[in-house]
């Protein structure tokens, strides 16, 4: 059935295809361009799949079903990751797309042998319901990782990039929330017209993303950090003094105990420019800001575990006193630093 909803949806999909393919066509593209192109094309394919089934008169899933969410999810994460630092080879991250290749290969093989498979449509219907839940979970994980990556490295993006990435993540989070409603409500209802609202929302988001990409290329593709890795005019003796001052500050004043400590606030305490501090930590300590601060916090936690006055406190209470804001962040940082869980370390 062809109607105005199909027109709106297909125009959004067409725009996503055009912008995505133009990004790929440019032989000088940077990796952020590639992943953003895959993101746009993947969402366009989702729109196309549902709309064509509706136009061709199918009140159900198509005989050949393909799932493009497994393409979209890692593309979003890798776009944020390479926008932060464009030094990743596509070959080294291709494993993120294995689920996309595997699930669609399964659908294709089933389609080839569909005439010889008894109850094919029933089997594919059950498989799609299960796949829908799995792909929703997959998308949720990558959306969370993307948000976490932005949160932990906000200082390394330009202000306009932070705004753009927050908007991009908000759009995808909204899509995910609406999708969850569909999974819960329409598990048994597979008529295509029930997908109009979410498809129109997705189409409108493609309009926005495509126009933004065209008009703000420096924002969406500039993978150079806000703090350029400039050759600072410091000789070895100056670097040594700065490192000693930083180390002394951390040991005596313990600013890391403040859970809201930021690069700017630490730079103010050290009486240096934030760019200088960022350069010092990244280039000479070989860590990012969050990892550097968390190592000091773990060091303080381990110290307090040996002191009698803290023996009555639970591990999490000590962690919070030492500057951690969440249990999960503390557990990950502690295991990374010691190779053991906090509980196991305390018992040894």
What lies within 8 Å, CB to CB, of 2 at 6+ separation is: 55
The residue ranges of every structural domain in the chain are: 4-221, 236-347
Which of 45-59, 204-218, 222-236, 328-342 is the least confident region? 222-236
**Burial degree of 248 (CB within 10 A; 0-12, 13-18, 19+):** exposed
User: Is a pLDDT exceeding 90 seen at residue 250?
Assistant: yes
Q: How many CA atoms lie within 13 A of 94 on its CB side?
A: 6
Whether 156 contacts 225, CB under 8 Å = yes
Please state, in angstroms and rounded to a whole number, the distance separating the CA atoms of residues 122 and 110: 12
Task: Evaluate if pTM is beyond 0.75.
Answer: no
pLDDT at 209: 86
pLDDT in tens, 290-310: 999 999 999 999 999 888 898
User: Is a pLDDT exceeding 70 seen at residue 218?
Assistant: no
CATH architecture of the domain covering 236-347:
Orthogonal Bundle (1.10)
Please state, in angstroms and rounded to a whole number, the distance separating the CA atoms of residues 68 and 49: 9
């Amino acid at each position: 059935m062809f109607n105005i909803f199909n027109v709106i949806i297909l125009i959004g999909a067409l725009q996503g295809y055009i912008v995505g393919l133009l990004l790929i066509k440019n032989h000088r593209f940077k990796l952020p361009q590639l992943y953003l192109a895959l993101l746009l094309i993947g969402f366009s394919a989702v729109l196309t799949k549902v709309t064509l089934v509706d136009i061709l008169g199918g009140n159900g899933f198509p005989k050949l079903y393909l799932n493009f969410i497994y393409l979209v999810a890692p593309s979003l994460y890798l776009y944020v990751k390479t926008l932060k630092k464009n030094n990743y080879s596509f070959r080294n991250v291709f494993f993120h797309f294995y689920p996309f290749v595997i699930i669609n290969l399964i659908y294709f093989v089933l389609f080839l042998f569909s005439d010889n498979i008894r109850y094919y449509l029933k089997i594919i219907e059950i498989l799609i319901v299960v796949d829908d839940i799995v792909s929703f979970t997959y998308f949720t994980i990558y959306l969370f990782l993307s948000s976490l990556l932005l949160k932990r490295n906000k200082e390394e993006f330009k202000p306009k990039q932070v705004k753009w990435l927050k908007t991009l993540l908000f759009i995808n989070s909204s899509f995910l929330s609406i999708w969850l409603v569909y999974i819960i409500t329409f598990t048994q209802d597979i008529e295509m017209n029930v997908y109009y609202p979410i498809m129109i929302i997705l189409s409108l988001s493609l309009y926005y993303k495509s126009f933004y990409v065209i008009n703000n290329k420096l924002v969406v593709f500039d993978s150079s950090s806000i703090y350029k890795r400039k050759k600072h005019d410091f000789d070895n003796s100056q670097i040594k003094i700065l490192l000693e001052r930083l180390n002394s500050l951390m040991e005596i004043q313990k600013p890391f105990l403040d859970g809201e400590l930021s690069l700017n606030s630490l730079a103010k305490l050290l009486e240096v420019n934030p760019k200088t501090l960022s350069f010092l930590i990244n280039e000479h300590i070989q860590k990012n800001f969050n990892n550097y601060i968390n190592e000091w916090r773990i060091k303080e936690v381990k110290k307090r575990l040996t002191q009698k006055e803290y023996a009555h406190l639970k591990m999490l209470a000590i962690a919070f006193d030492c500057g951690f804001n969440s249990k999960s962040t503390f557990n990950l940082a502690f295991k990374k630093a010691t190779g053991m869980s906090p509980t196991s370390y305390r018992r040894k």
